[in-house]
A and B are shown apart, each in its own frame.
Chain A
């Protein structure tokens, strides 16, 4: 009895402490190591990008362009109408060298009591999540995104700025989650009931990092095509890039890659029971590119011996000399996208991958990619910059009650999809084989990096993880759609790994109902 009264009093005290704060007064909230640069009530209306914001990448959950109600097909989409919200811009400074810019948007009405954080791509360097934040806001979430602490999608920022590399690796998102929750609590008078992470690519790595390092930050994490381990991902890139640049014979023209892709599909497409241009499990395709060897003279319809070497290299894993796997290769079926890897080899390797070594690891602008050594440089990167990698230790996240939804497209040529299978299996190995009450992986036949490609890539990830976390309805199957123009031309089930969608044998192969997960 006495205890209840005390509890009630404590609650009363808490309630008083959590009194709602109007938007414009939020700048007076006491935040550690953070400065609010804007706190403004934004009325309902079309989205206006903040000055200086760079174009956001295509969002993961549908470009919400429904503002022009009744806009007919083909009509230019009207800018999305956003509900009235409190917009807060902050600069976070967890270290003296930090300068993390973030935005937090708080719906002025119909808040769904939840928080959705959105991630970045590549080396970040801007708040890339604005488009996703618009969708989240319209669904009633408080939502935030950040630039990870530097400007520009280029790793040069890391030179002499280890603190900024730490911000990029893990600190910016954690700080954002803390500050977002503090401001949400101040604005509404109560903390978010549930918090979600939604990211792909670097955003996928960020999701895994949060789940591993700060397991209480989020109750549900969507991690698409995670760029994790980043040091190993980029080591594979450098292995291929440096090998094929050793002479001028190893580059492969785009036309030959199209031809190769057709040959691969001709050999393997029907293996899963349906000829549809999609390989349900490309690992089962053992196409030998040597069968395309030129017999009489070079042409677009055959491969020269060095070209065969290049193609085999892209399929292959990067391994240390002792045989230990560093990072897997690309999958059969994805060859039509390999021009970026194999065709333009007169230019130096891209800064995306090179920067992990040149700037983040060696801190040396003069570092020469030609001297890349797989064993040595991977080991050094792990030693100096390994904190960017999220290991598969998720016991604390599981204990927190978190759900982890992983997805990856089999046609991803930016980040090899098998790496996510390996991550998933590493978690199971660590924690025991039966973990599907909190972690599931959905591999997507024919999907490219995060989205796009010939495979069905459209599904409502947030709705799925919410039903899992909030209603305990685990996703046994996800019906995904493929869109061409403004028409859905195929639906298919996505299946929890290691199951695959299997054709029942009758009915349209473009209709999910005619497939089952097996």
Chain B
């Protein structure tokens, strides 16, 4: 009731060019026991500063610097900053931030995702960009601190928060605060996430199809438990050949052999494998015939390479997660050093599964531990996305073929599974763009730069589906290559004349 009165009072203010300090201040009246504000304040235009105690932000949003390479912090416009703690359960402690532009709001909401185990508001690095473009923008830490799975030990409610609740509630509360601040709901709401942010995207699409009108799902870590248990299985497989690590020179030998066999199949010799799934390179062809040297692989090294490329399967032969794709060898850590422990994914088994920090990985069994950890409820395993489609939502997925953290074949499988469930013609609302040579979310030798949110918006708001995306590769501050990205299963094919660094000389074609 109090909220309604407040909203009524606010409507007179909305037409003003800029919303003043008191409009921001008044949001405090929306506090409830489940949403406690730690800060509600007007922030004047100026360099974006990461709030104290939030940890260093990774590679920051681009600055509108004057000369190239000027890496001054981005200038963000004046905004109302809301920092809140959400407590949907007694054990919940979900941190969220919402930034509301005081002027020139574009009428839209853009929410940012997390990476890895989350544990901080990682979206703070992307939010300045969104704010500058006029969005109301928010992000969450998913309800715990620290980028590992230890938070889940004895905290089932925090597992739920990490799984889906923090993101959903942050979206719901953000929209309520937006409505209170501007006097109207956002015209469109968008999700923008990669990695764990890609998983969060797919959870939202399946579980809360009305939260977002357009969803960017990059390199989705979905299903989380499958990714992690497959990683554990792969690590343990690698340990079977402790002398199987490849030197840098051998990795280059391997990479060059892969390129020699598979680079030119897309019509261009450019160091990029256009469709790695068509590359059937056999590492045994590199087996040393005589003495060991940089140009060949020992039997143990061949085994390592096979493990890295191989799909991880249950004892019944079902794929848990696909292997790393040929072409990205220079960045695959598993080729370089044999692990001594099963890595960051182990927390999904010992904590989410066994609730035992001392659980011995030697007891790992893929079949049973996958089933056990999956009971934590992190993942949905839903491929029928009809409710999201009916909502009018657009789903734009992308994944780098040279992803060194999350093997990309799984995203192709997810896409195909949705088609299998819903029918083969779904491209009016869902498209997948595989990016040759791109590493995890960005980087690598492929063209990784494209304005994802602009593409999604044109699709949702103007019904212009992305038939192809012109993407760029940047090095040393200069664009040195452009290429089209194509809706899967199409690939970019060279037309045969002109520079191979120019997108105009390629077209999207079904293979």
* Chain A residues packing against B (C-beta within 8 Å): 58-59, 61-66, 69-74, 77, 135, 139-140, 277, 336, 448, 451-454, 458-460, 462-463, 466-467, 470, 479, 481, 483-491, 506-511, 513-514
Complex: chain A residue closest to B481, CB-CB: A66
Q: Does A483 lie within 8 Å of B502, measured CB to CB?
A: no
Per-residue 0/1 for B418-452: is the Cβ within 8 Å of any A Cβ (1 yes, 0 no)? 00000000000000000001010011110001010
**CB within 8 Å for A483 and B481 given contacts A66-B473, A69-B330, A70-B331:** no
Which of A70, A71, A452, A467 has a CB less than 8 Å from the CB of B67? A452
Identity of the chain A residue whose Cβ is nearest the Cβ of B470 in the assembled complex:
A479
B454 touching A70, Cβ below 8 Å: no
CB pair B451–A510 under 8 Å, yes or no, is: yes
Q: Is the CB of A484 within 8 A of B476?
A: no
Q: Which residue of chain A is the closest to B70 with respect to CB atoms? A: A484
**Does chain A have a CB within 8 A of B38?**
no
Cβ–Cβ < 8 Å partners of A490 in chain B? 64
* Complex alpha-carbon distance, A450 and B402, angstroms: 35
Residue of A448, A453, A458, A485 near B479 (CB, 8 A) is A458
Name the distance in Å between B385's Cβ and chain A's nearest Cβ: 26
Which A-B residue pairs are the 7 nearest by beta carbons? A489-B62, A62-B480, A463-B502, A62-B478, A511-B454, A484-B62, A70-B330
Q: Which of B42-92 contact A (CB under 8 A)?
A: 59, 61-71
Q: Does B290 contact A (CB under 8 A)?
A: no
Return B477 CB to nearest CB of chain A, in Å: 5
Determine the distance from Cα of A227 to Cα of B331 in the docked complex, in whole angstroms. Answer: 45
Extra 6 A-B pairs, beta carbons < 8 Å, given A470-B497, A488-B62, A488-B449 = A62-B501, A66-B473, A66-B480, A466-B498, A470-B498, A489-B64
Taking the closest CB of chain A, its distance from the CB of B449, in whole angstroms, is 5
* A73, B68: Cβ atoms closer than 8 Å: no
- SS of A interface (majority): loop
Whether A485 lies near B475 (C-beta < 8 A) is: no
In the bound complex, CA of A268 to CA of B71 (Å) = 26
B476 touches A65 (CB 8 A): yes
Task: List chain B residues, Cβ under 8 A from A487.
Answer: 61-62, 449, 474
Does B155 touch A at the CB level, under 8 Å? no
Find out whether the CB atom of B477 lies under 8 angstroms from the CB atom of A507: no
Nearest Cβ in chain B — how far from A409, in angstroms?
12
Q: Are B63 and A484 in contact (CB under 8 A)?
A: yes
- Residue of A with least CB distance to B457: A507
The answer, yes or no, to whether B328 is at the interface (CB within 8 Å) is yes
Given the interface pairs A65-B480, A71-B445, the reply to whether A485 lies near B69 with Cβ below 8 Å is: yes
With A and B bound together, what is the CA distance between A111 and B497 in angstroms? 12
In the complex, the answer to whether A508 meets B451 with C-beta atoms within 8 Å is yes
B342 CB within 8 Å of chain A: no
Docked pose: A79 CA to B501 CA in angstroms: 18
Taking CB atoms, residues of chain B closer than 8 Å to A508 are: 133, 451, 453-454, 457
A481 to B71, CA, bound (A): 17
A69 B271 Cβ-Cβ under 8 A:
yes
B122 CB-CB contact with A under 8 Å = no
Contact check, B133 vs A460: say whether CB atoms are below 8 A apart.
no
The chain B residue sitting closest to A491, CB to CB, is B451
Chain B residues, CB < 8 A from A65 = 475-476, 480
A451 to B330, CA, bound (A): 33
Report chain B residues within 8 Å CB of A509.
133
> With the chains together, A70 CA to B254 CA distance in Å?
14
Q: How far apart are B319's CB and chain A's nearest CB, in angstroms?
A: 26
Is B472 an interface residue, CB under 8 A from the partner? Answer: yes
- Name A507's contact: one of B129, B458, B500 (CB within 8 Å): B458
Roughly how many angstroms separate A459 CA and B499 CA in the complex, as a whole number?
A: 13
Residues of B within 8 A of A (CB): 59, 61-71, 129, 133, 255, 271, 328, 330-331, 402, 437, 439, 442-445, 449, 451, 453-454, 457-458, 461, 470, 472-482, 497-502, 504-505
Most buried by B among A65, A139, A460: A460
Check B501 against A139 for contact (C-beta < 8 Å): yes
Whether the pair B499, A462 counts as a contact (CB closer than 8 A) is yes
Asked if A466 meets B445 with Cβ closer than 8 Å, knowing A454-B66, A458-B479, A507-B454, the reply is: no
**What's the least CB distance linking B105 to chain A, in Å?**
14
Residue of B nearest to A453 (CB): B66
Asked if A63 and B478 make an inter-chain contact with CB atoms under 8 angstroms apart, the answer reads yes
A66-B473, A72-B439, A488-B479 in contact; A513/B458 too (CB < 8 A)? yes
From known contacts A70-B328, A466-B499, A467-B504, infer whether A277 and B67 are also in contact, taking CB-CB under 8 Å. Answer: no
For residue A257, give the distance in angstroms from its CB to the closest CB of chain B.
13
A71 to B271, CA, bound (A): 12
Tell me whether A72 and B444 are in contact in the complex, defined as CB-CB below 8 angstroms, given that A62-B480, A452-B67, A452-B68 are known contacts. yes
B270 nearest CB neighbor, chain A only = A66
- Shortest Cβ distance from A453 into chain B, in angstroms? 6
Q: Which residues of B contact A491 (CB under 8 A)?
A: 451
Most central of A451, A462, A487 by chain B CB within 10 Å:
A487
Contact between chains at B501 and A460 (CB < 8 Å): yes
Docked pose: A223 CA to B437 CA in angstroms: 34
Chain B residues closer than 8 Å to A466, beta-carbon distance:
498-499
**B474: A residues at CB distance < 8 A:** 483, 486-488
Contacts of B66 in A (CB 8 A): 336, 453-454
Q: How far is the CA of A486 from the CA of B482 in the complex (A)?
A: 14
Contact check, B472 vs A481: say whether CB atoms are below 8 A apart: yes
Point out the residues of chain A lying under 8 angstroms from B501, CB to CB.
62, 139, 460, 463
Chain A residues, CB < 8 A from B444: 70-72
- Whether A484 contacts B437 by the Cβ 8 Å rule is no
Report how far A511 CA is from B444 CA in the complex, Å: 23
Contact of A73 among B65, B69, B443, B480 (CB under 8 A): B443
Are B499 and A463 in touch, CB under 8 angstroms?
Answer: yes
Q: Which residues of A contact B71 (CB under 8 A)?
A: 484-485
Q: Are B443 and A510 in contact (CB under 8 A)?
A: no
Residues of B within 8 A of A63 (CB): 475-478, 480
Which residue from chain B places its CB closest to the CB of A511 in the assembled complex?
B454
Q: Is the CB of B502 within 8 A of A460?
A: yes
Please state if A463 and B442 are interface contacts (CB–CB under 8 Å): no
A64-B480, A65-B475, A77-B476 given; A484·B64 CB < 8 A:
yes
Interchain CA distance A357-B453 in the complex, whole Å: 54
Residues of chain A within 8 A (CB-CB) of B133 are 508-510
Which residues on the B side are within 8 Å of A64 (C-beta)?
475, 480
**Distance from B186 Cβ to chain A, minimum over Cβ atoms (Å):** 15
The one of A458, A462, A484, A511 in contact with B65, judged by C-beta atoms closer than 8 angstroms, is A484
Question: With a CB–CB cut-off of 8 A, which chain A residues contact B479?
Answer: 62, 458-460, 481, 483, 488
CA distance A293 to B69 in the complex (A): 34
CB-defined A-B contacts under 8 Å, sample of 18: A63-B476, A63-B480, A64-B480, A70-B328, A71-B445, A71-B475, A139-B499, A451-B68, A453-B66, A459-B479, A463-B504, A485-B62, A487-B61, A488-B449, A488-B472, A489-B129, A510-B454, A511-B451
Q: How far is the CB of A506 from chain B (nearest CB, A)?
A: 8
- B498 in contact with A77 (CB, 8 Å): no
Whether the Cβ atoms of B67 and A448 lie closer than 8 Å is: yes
